[in-house]
Amino acid sequence: MCGIVAYIGNREAYPIVMKGLRRLEYRGYDSAGIALIDKELLVYKCKGKVDDLEYFIGTQNTLGNIGIGHTRWATHGVPNDVNAHPHYSQAKDLTIIHNGIIENYNAIKKALTLRGHTFTSDTDTEVLIHLIEDIRNNAKVDLVEAVRLALNEAVGAYAIVILSKDNPNQLIAARKSSPLVIGIGVDEFFCASDATPIIEYTKNVVYLNDEEIAVINRGEELKIITTKNIAKTPYVQELELNIEAIEKGGYEHFMLKEIFEQPRSIRDSIRGRVLVDQGLIKLGGITEYSQKIVNAKRIIIIGCGTSWHAGLVGEYLIEDLARIPVEVEYASEFRYRNPIINEDDVVIAISQSGETADTLAAIELAKSKGALVYGICNVAGSSIARTTHAGSYTHAGPEIGVASTKAFTAQVAILTAFALSVAKQRGTINESRYQQLLIELDTVPELVEKVLLQSDKTKAIAAIMKDAPNSLYLGRGYSFPVALEGALKLKEISYIHAEGYPAAEMKHGPIALIDEEMPVVVIATKGANYEKVVSNIQEVKARKGIIIAVVTEGDEHAALLADYIIEIPESDECLVPIISVVPLQLLSYYIAVMRGCNVDQPRNLAKSVTVE
Ligand code: M6R
């Protein structure tokens, strides 16, 4: 979603802010803008991409060593030049960039209008900067105090940075429910909505907490106060990110790079946790709570999109291995449906970004009812990682492509380790199966590597599917969530309508769609439901659907039935999702490329969904 970047120091701000905006492009946006101070307050903004902004700025003045930049993902008001950030105050001496939503902006706008303010945009952000200006002028306070008082009036979420024409030596930043990180260099500071624009300049960062305001004065130490006016000591952390991780490294797209990184990212996610030599699993982040988890009456898994799909695999794993009842919920539904949450429930919150607004709100709800919340996140220091009681990082590395790939397999790897560990402690798995699964889980990265070697075959199948307007993805048991994930990957990056279904449900409706034009992707690997899935394939075949089957290596029976097959190496059924999803990711990728789609930044989508 929206991206923020800001700089104050001795260098020219423009190239740093523009480069930062490009680093944030992956978050998804529809307009961009920048403000600089070179005696005058210079604001340039337009609809479109950062390239469009650069073209629009052309040879205009871009001097100054203080600047703020923004990529906007429209919420209030259509994507156009006027609604793009930064926004001016009434007197045009202040300007603001903002991520999040000010929910009571309408009431504030009405009150300000009565006091003579006029607004040029449809945004809530413009209202906020006018409110700050109004307070500063009428309460006769300095800008920092005006920001503090205004934020006490604002309801909603924000990460903001403010620039004042009259003070080219100061940036004011603040956050609530929307991330903001401050990079500390030598005589310079950076602000950004995530660390990617900062990493090439400094590894020392401060993550602002909710309701904190950072006062960043040139040549001074960083100062932080809360919106209640309590001074805080900045907690400086060292970033573990490196610059290679956020560049394409020779791949045409981030998504392809991230798909091919999976042998490494899965390995990193289980390293130090799945200890084959010692025959045990160690999830350090939950040791303190292991009794509560082992004795849980119920586990509720919450997430959105791909993370929700990982949660579904988690449900199969935990119920199958550890025999604890599991419910998997869309965070967005869970938070609003007055769910029954007990103190002996354990809630697992899954999120790649760690910033998804619905998941965060669902976590707060679960915490307020006394449940233990265990987070599985990819982004270190993210809001979800910080707000959960216990957690495991997935260590997949930065995921830049909007379509989640390596985060999913890492999440499922952690859930597998979790289920196995709880099963062992509860005595619901016998020792030899436990040890066998440990060994097999440890070899999954190599099996994924084998699947990736067949990418050309998947590409050839993509050429067959690329012009289909619709497609169906079917799976049963552990492969049902994989079918959902395969369909989501296809629709989000290629814009082909795709539906994932439990294979047996097909006859209750979707079978009506099948004809000789309809590609049906079936995950038909060996396992408990194999024969049943083969019957489902027969049903598709009888209606002349085009069958693309993901099968276990050497399965000649399924190969004879299907029109096209993708083979994956044999493994225990409960480990198949991590492996079988990989060819589906590749299939979507190649189809999207063949259709000329913007794979890494699909239309309308944002990487980090920080609004509900
Ligand atoms: O960062 P999160 O895992 O919380 O994000 C959840 C979804 O927004 C995300 O998985 C989304 O569905 C992706 N575009 C899927 O590829």
**Same domain membership, residue 154 and residue 18:** yes
What is the Å distance from ligand 1's center to 253 Cα? 18
Q: Is residue 153 part of a domain?
A: yes
Taking only the tens place, the pLDDT of each residue in 22-65 is: 999 988 889 999 999 999 999 999 999 999 999 999 999 999 99
Distance 14 CA to ligand 1 centre (A): 31
What angle is formed at CA 533 by the lines to CA 315 and CA 488, rounded to 5 degrees?
Answer: 55
pLDDT digits (tens, 9 = 90+) for 260-303: 999 999 999 999 999 999 999 999 999 999 999 999 999 999 99
Do both 390 and 481 map to the same domain? no
The reply to whether 606 falls in a domain is no
CA of 374 to the centre of ligand 1 (A): 18
Residue 610 lies in a domain: no
DSSP assignments along 531-555, one per residue? HHHHHHHHHHHHTTPEEEEEEETT-
Q: How far is the CA of 304 from the centre of ligand 1 (A)?
A: 6
Band of the pLDDT at 362, cuts 50, 70, 90?
very high
Q: Does 348 share its domain with 253?
A: yes
Whether residues 359 and 220 fall in one domain: no
Closest residue by CA, ligand 1 atom 9: 305
- CATH assignment at residue 494: 3.40.50.10490
Catalytic hit among 2, 304, 377, 597 = 2
Mean pLDDT calculated for residue range 226-255: 91
Measured in Å, residue 409 CA sits from the centre of ligand 1 at 13
Binned at pLDDT 50, 70 and 90, residue 526 comes out as very high
Residue 1 has a pLDDT of 75
Q: Which atom of ligand 1 lies closest to the CA of 489?
A: 16
Residue with tokens 């097999």: 440
Residue 524 belongs to a domain: yes
In percent, how much of the chain has pLDDT > 90?
91
| Closest ligand 1 atom to 384 CA | 4
Residues 390 and 312 in one domain: yes
Q: How many domains does the chain have?
A: 3
The 3-class SS string of 36-70 reads EEECEEEEEEEECCHHHHHHHHCCCCCCCCEEEEE
CATH of the domain at 20: 3.60.20.10
164-207 pLDDT, tens digit per residue, is 999 999 999 999 988 999 999 999 999 999 999 999 999 999 99
This prediction has a pTM of 0.87
Catalytic site includes residue 607: yes
Q: Output the pLDDT for position 229.
A: 97
Q: Is residue 408 part of a domain?
A: yes
- In this structure, the residue with its CA closest to atom 14 of ligand 1 is 403
* Same domain assignment for residues 168 and 261: no
Question: Taking residues 241-250, what's their average pLDDT?
Answer: 84
Nearest partner of 393 among 372, 418, 414, 373, judged by Cα: 414
Strand partners, 217: 170
Is there a single domain that holds both residue 9 and residue 157?
yes
pLDDT band at 591 (very low <50, low <70, confident <90, very high): very high
Per-chain mean pLDDT for the chain: 95
Domain boundary among the residues 412, 428, 451 is at 451
pLDDT over 80 at 557, yes or no: yes
Provide the residue range defining the domain that includes 506: 454-598
Residue 612, pLDDT > 80, answer: no
| 611 belongs to a structural domain | no
Asked which of 451, 468, 495 is the last residue of a domain, the reply is: 451
Mark whether 136 and 268 lie in a shared domain. Answer: no
165 part of the active site: no
Contact call for residues 354 and 363 (beta carbons, < 8 A): no
In a domain, 210, yes or no: yes
Of 417, 451, 485, which residue is a domain's last? 451
Amino acid 370: pLDDT: 94
> Which protein residues touch ligand 1 with a CB less than 6 Å away?
304-307, 351-353, 356, 359, 402-404, 492, 605, 608-609
Do 205 and 280 lie in one domain? The reply is no
Same domain for 307 and 214: no
Q: Which one-letter amino acid corresponds to residue 530?
A: Y
Distance, CA of 577 to CA of 500 (rounded, Å): 14
Residues 465 and 438 in one domain: no
Residues 220 and 255 in one domain: no
Name the closest-CA residue to atom 4, ligand 1: 351
**pLDDT per residue as tens digits for the range 374-412:** 999 999 888 999 999 999 999 999 999 999 999 999 999
225 belongs to a structural domain: yes
Closest by CA to 170, choosing from 145, 195, 143, 197, is 143
Token pair, residue 308, equals 């929700």
The whole-number pLDDT of residue 466 equals: 96
Predicted pLDDT of residue 82:
94
CA of 3 to the centre of ligand 1 (A): 17
- Out of 109, 257, 491, 607, which one is annotated catalytic? 607
* Top mutation candidate among 312, 356, 383 for ligand 1, by most atoms within 8 Å of CB: 356
